[in-house]
Amino acid sequence: MPSNAEIAKDTIEQFRKIQDFMIAAKKENATETYAILKKEYLSLKALLNVIGVNLIDIDIMKE
What's the maximum distance between 2 C-alpha atoms anywhere in the chain? 40
pTM of the model: 0.90
**Residue 25 pLDDT:** 98
Whole-angstrom Cα distance, residue 58 to residue 15?
A: 8
In order of 30, 31, 59, the CA distances from 11 in angstroms are 24, 24, 13
Whole-angstrom Cα distance, residue 61 to residue 41?
A: 9
What are the boundaries of each domain within the chain?
Answer: 4-51
**Residue 36 pLDDT:** 98
**Residue 44 pLDDT:** 97
Neighbours of 53 (CB within 10 A): 19
CB proximity list for 8: less than 8 A, separation 6 or greater: 48, 51, 53
Which pLDDT tens digit goes with each residue over 3-60?
A: 888 989 999 999 999 999 999 999 999 999 999 999 999 999 999 999 899 999 999 9
